[in-house]
Chain A
Amino acid sequence: MATTRREFLKAAGAAATVGAVGFPAVVRAQAKPGVPSDPVKIGVLAIRAGIAAPVGTAGLRGTEWWVERVNKTGGILGRQVQLIVEEESTPKDTVERYRKLILQDKVDVVIGGISTGVTLALGPVAEEMEVPWLSWDGTTQKGVEETMPNPKWAFRSVDNEVEAIVAGQLTPKYFKGVKTVAGIGNDYSYGHDCWETYQAVLKRYIPDVKFVLELFPKLGVTDFTSHIAAIQQAKPDLLMCSFWSGDATIIMKQAAAVGLFKSMKGVFTTAGGVHDSLKKEFTPEGLLLGYNTMYFDDPKGSPLLRQFVREYKAKYNEYPAYECDHAYFNIESYKAAVEKAYATAGKWPSKAEVAKALEGIEVDSLSGRRSWRPDHIQMCNFYQGITTHKNGYDFVTINPIEVVSTKVAMKPAGSKLIEWINSWKI
């Protein structure tokens, strides 16, 4: 459940009271010179309703977890962190909430933003309002190329097509003899871009591959039996699916009901978003499954990740997905940037100084090291692998796990996606 301002203040009040009484040395950290003593206000835009609600919830939970930890150890430079959460809904309404956060609530930074329509609208507004905006998600080609070539204040997420690129690179490695491919994705920019990208990548590795079917059901469709029937009729060697929410679970179930993956391979670029709903009963082994930037069960995962997964499961009875990592990285990088800018400025940095400090900064996120490129796009690792039932859960995990860095899977600053893909040396 989202933290409303009231609830947060209640909790913060309680925590402060406890701290003042019990652990003064830890909680009431010394305010540094040049740093105000009042809390630093961070605006958060989280989706609450609709198909992307679970993603928004995950992001918010990751942020709240970070805030709890950081506030316990003194906050940012001694200032407690106060979250002001507004809802991300339609682009028009979200822009209004964004304005409120900046003009009325006077936040120092805004984090959040998931859907492509919203983030595309927010970019220019962020530049106009001159407050740093760190986006959780929602970057597609148009967002990066056309509208914001040289952002000063807006910090975008990783290109969304990276998942398709990684999947395209891994497909020939794990699935030999693929000659025909079908694709299914949501009928909006992400679904289309993913498919186009996957096709472009696959063609580099398998030049004579044929794409026999492409389906784009609307977001929110809950019945894919007709789509599955069409896929079966087309008889591809492999099906690529870019669903990332409840529809991934549904199509997996409905596919299992007709044994779809007995006759073809499957690539699920982003279904890791709902990984703990992909139960073993209907999710076969041998599928390529993508977890975006965070794999909860990474054997090489840091103690931070393990602690997060443990506490998340204890609190919500679910296993976290990648949006938590995006959210954690954003707010952690903000803190690091403030600290870095403080070191040179000697006082709490201005918003412009923070924005400058964010460029190139690297921090430890839940999934490992992540950073901001100078062109305001994130750099991190992507996790994909082959599904297996050999684990202690009732849902699938992946083994082997491929960790692919955006250094090889995301187009460099200033380049165009398809051109860059076609320039690879295979």
Chain B
Amino acid sequence: MGGVFHAAILFLVAAGLQLVFGVQKIFNLACGSFYALGAYTGVSAVGYFTSHGGPPALFMVPLVVAGLAVGLVGVVVERGLLRFVYDRDETFQLLLTFALVLMLEDLIRMTWGAAPTSTGGLYLGYGQARLLGATVPVYNLIVIAASLAIALGMGWLLTRTAFGRIIRAAADNREMAEALGVDMRWVYVRVFTLGTMLGTLGGALVIPATAAMSEMGIELIVEAFAVVVIGGLGSMRGAFVGALVVGILRSLAISIYPELEMLLIYLIVIAVLLWRPRGLFGTASA
């Protein structure tokens, strides 16, 4: 069950990654940093809320709002940095996101300091439930449900709305989409911001059950990377399945053979890359 909670968070971050990669063909190394940003902002928002008399039971409201709001920083990043490298080699785009990782790491430290910070025991206020023989915090179930809802929402967005169609068209064939009159700048900034918001939301949602710690973004990127490789680059379904696979495998490894944990994940990543580089649902070619 713990594996599913972890998977729910991973999915959000991975979904953001996939969206950006699918359309803009950029592997955003900074997705982990946005996750961290969402986490810290979430803590601050909840802290502000409760210290100004907000009822603890409603802490999820400022949390989610903060998580989504800080995602708007994606606009700044996209317009201010990324758009200069769209016509460059993939490597340069990747390196720019690496530069972002470095900058965000220190910006977060400048703003919030290096000490771990959390929302305390607020999430326990939602109580526990017994599910499949295990005790699970209700908060975790809420997050899993939210993640699922977002997954469904993304699916609906991509298949049923005009915007979604544009996204998929742009992902498949950018030139064609442009030729058909789509303003790619408009698409890019929205897609990137949406991707960022997914990441920051993931960070915000995970915080009540854990804590925001220095370099949490750098730690997460490796796992997010595993998720998208297994699921397949550029695929939303891949993010979903990949997150489940990584989350549950990790959970299983811990209960059966703890020594393996991350090593197992990396080996699976390598195996997937070698045997089926497209991953389970990927669309990009090798």
Q: Tell me the A residues contacting B by CB distance below 8 Å.
A: 1, 48-51, 53-54, 56-57, 214-218, 220-230, 232-233, 245-247, 249-250, 253-254, 256-259, 274, 277, 279, 281-282, 318
Contacts and interface: CB of A to CB of B under 8 A. Distances in A.
Given A50-B214, A226-B254, 11 more contacts: A49-B114, A51-B213, A54-B114, A214-B258, A217-B254, A220-B213, A222-B211, A225-B5, A229-B2, A229-B251, A230-B255
The 4 closest A-B pairs by CB, nearest first: A225-B2, A246-B116, A53-B114, A281-B121
A222 B216 contact: yes
A257 B255 CA distance: 19
Nearest to B105: A49
Interface in B93-133: 105, 109, 113-116, 118, 120-121, 123-124, 128
Contacts of A51: 213-215
B164 interface: no
B2 to A, nearest CB: 3
B254 A227 contact: yes
A49 B101 CA distance: 14
Interface in B198-228: 206, 209-216, 219
B91 interface: no
Interface of B: 1-3, 5-6, 105, 109, 113-116, 118, 120-121, 123-124, 128, 134-137, 139-140, 206, 209-216, 219, 250-251, 254-255, 258, 261-262
Contact of A53 (B115, B135, B137): B115
A54 B134 contact: no
Contacts of A259: 128, 135
Contact of A246 (B137, B211, B254): B211
Nearest to B258: A215
B111 to A, nearest CB: 11
A57 B109 CA distance: 12
Contacts of B3: 225-226
Nearest to A228: B2
A249 B5 contact: no
A245 B250 CA distance: 22
A229 B261 CA distance: 15
Given A49-B114, A53-B115, A57-B114, A254 B209 contact: yes
Nearest to A260: B135
A246 B213 contact: yes
A257 B113 contact: no
Given A49-B105, A259-B128, A282-B124, A225 B1 contact: yes
B144 to A, nearest CB: 12
A275 B123 CA distance: 20
Contacts of A253: 118, 121, 123-124, 209-211
Contacts of B212: 246
A54 B121 contact: no
Nearest to B125: A281
B270 to A, nearest CB: 19
A225 B128 CA distance: 14
Contact of A223 (B6, B135, B137): B6
Contacts of A257: 123-124, 128, 135, 137, 139-140, 209
B209 A245 contact: no
Contact of A279 (B121, B128, B209): B121
A58 B139 CA distance: 33
Contacts of A230: 254-255, 258
A254 B120 CA distance: 11
A232 B6 CA distance: 19
Contacts of A228: 2
B63 to A, nearest CB: 15
B140 A54 contact: no
Contacts of A225: 1-3, 5-6, 140, 209, 251
Contact of B116 (A1, A227, A249, A279): A249
